[in-house]
């Protein structure tokens, strides 16, 4: 307030009031970005709420815990006596995901170690770009590869009548999950401070000794997190599994058996059901089950990874 002497009687708060247009715009933006910030929370809650809402009728009236989880009979469209046992579907998902992890875990951790610790310069950059591109291949393309490239190879090599089975889907899913696991694992290795490596090298350790004795123990939790996120990804995969498993309800006895996965069942059957019917609702109930499992997997992975950062 130039030229005017402030006296005790003046309202000081009015003199220093900075609430001009800019101030209000600032507050408005703050509110808007806050809404954006909480949108992720809102969406996760909304997903759970809407999927539960559609599946609720079945949960309330028809849901029989024992039948649902322990019966291998899935005949949802039988008019007289429909059966809703998802045991065989769980077995299908578990066998395919299990085999996929058998393929993906060693190779992606190995690749991550090679990229982060052995490779350098252009080789490292090139490999990283390649892994990133492989991670971008859409799942329906993977399914198509399983259907038209892997299928005849498996029939030829193993002399089996059908090439769409646990083996096929497991390999496809493993190749699919590996690039993602590789990137996350590589991040975990990169998060180990360089002074650890320098200290070990100063003691005369070779590169491999540094990796084995220093880097891997320090990155243990991050790597475990990477594996868990890979499991979650394999578990929730839909199109590739729908196209490469053979899609027949079956508790597999060997890797050459066709199976059907939980996710693929929803994808294949939702289009044929009437909105609100038991069959329609049971598919949403499976959706709730899938949501809860991936929620737990992601939560665990997060707790493991953050645990180490705090310590």
216-236 and 278-310 are packed helices; what angle lies between their axes, rounded to 10 degrees? 170
Residue 54's contacts (CB-CB under 8 Å, 6 or more residues apart) are 280, 281, 284
Which sign does the torsion angle of CA 167, 172, 177, 183 carry? positive
* Cβ-count burial 195-220 (b if 16+ within 10 Å, e if not): eebeebeeeebeeeebbeebbbebbe
**Contact residue for another protein among 218, 239, 251, 308 (CB under 8 A):** 239
Binding to another protein (CB under 8 A) within 25-54 occurs at 25-26, 29-30, 32-41, 43-44, 46-47, 50-51, 53-54
- Residue 132 in contact with another protein, rule: CB under 8 A: yes
- 209, 213, 217, 220: which one contacts another protein (CB under 8 A)? 209
| Size of site (CB under 8 A) for another protein | 87
Residues 68-127 that bind another protein (CB under 8 A): 106-108, 110-111, 113-115, 118, 127
With beta carbons less than 8 A apart as the criterion, state whether 232 and 304 touch. Answer: no
Residue from 138, 193, 217, 307 touching another protein (CB under 8 A): that is 138
Closest approach, Cβ 42 to another protein, in A, equals 8
Write down the least CB distance from residue 165 to another protein, Å.
16
274 token code pair: 């009437």
Residue 253 found at the interface with another protein (CB under 8 A): no
Distance of alpha carbon 257 from alpha carbon 255, whole angstroms: 6
Interacting span for another protein (CB under 8 A) from 77-85, 215-223, 249-257, 284-292: 284-292
Is residue 158 near another protein by the rule CB under 8 A?
A: no
């Amino acid at each position: 307030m130039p030229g005017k002497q402030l006296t005790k009687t003046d309202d000081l708060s009015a003199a220093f009031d900075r609430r001009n247009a800019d101030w209000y715009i600032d507050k408005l933006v703050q509110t808007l970005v806050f809404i954006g910030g909480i949108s992720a929370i809102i969406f996760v809650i909304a997903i759970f709420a809407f999927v539960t809402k559609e599946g609720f009728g079945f949960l309330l009236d028809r849901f029989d815990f024992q039948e649902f989880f322990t019966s291998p009979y899935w005949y949802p469209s039988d008019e007289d006596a429909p059966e809703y046992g998802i045991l065989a579907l769980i077995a299908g998902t578990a066998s395919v995901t299990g085999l996929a992890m058998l393929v993906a875990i060693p190779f992606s951790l190995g690749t991550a170690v090679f990229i982060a610790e052995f490779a350098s310069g252009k080789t490292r950059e090139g490999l990283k770009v390649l892994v990133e591109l492989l991670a971008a291949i859409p799942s329906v393309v993977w399914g198509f590869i399983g259907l038209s490239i892997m299928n005849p190879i498996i029939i030829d090599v193993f002399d089996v009548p059908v090439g769409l089975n646990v083996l096929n889907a497991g390999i496809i899913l493993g190749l699919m999950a590996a690039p993602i696991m590789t990137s996350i694992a590589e991040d975990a290795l990169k998060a180990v401070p360089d002074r650890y490596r320098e200290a070990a090298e100063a003691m005369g350790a070779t590169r491999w000794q540094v990796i084995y004795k220093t880097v891997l123990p320090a990155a243990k939790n991050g790597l475990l997190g990477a594996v868990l996120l890979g499991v979650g990804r394999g578990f929730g995969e839909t199109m590739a599994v729908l196209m490469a498993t053979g899609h027949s309800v079956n508790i597999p006895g060997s890797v050459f058996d066709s199976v059907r996965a939980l996710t693929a069942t929803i994808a294949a059957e939702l289009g044929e059901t009437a909105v609100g019917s038991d069959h329609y609702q049971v598919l949403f109930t499976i959706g709730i089950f899938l949501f809860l499992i991936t929620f737990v997997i992601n939560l665990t992975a997060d707790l493991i990874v953050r645990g180490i950062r705090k310590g």
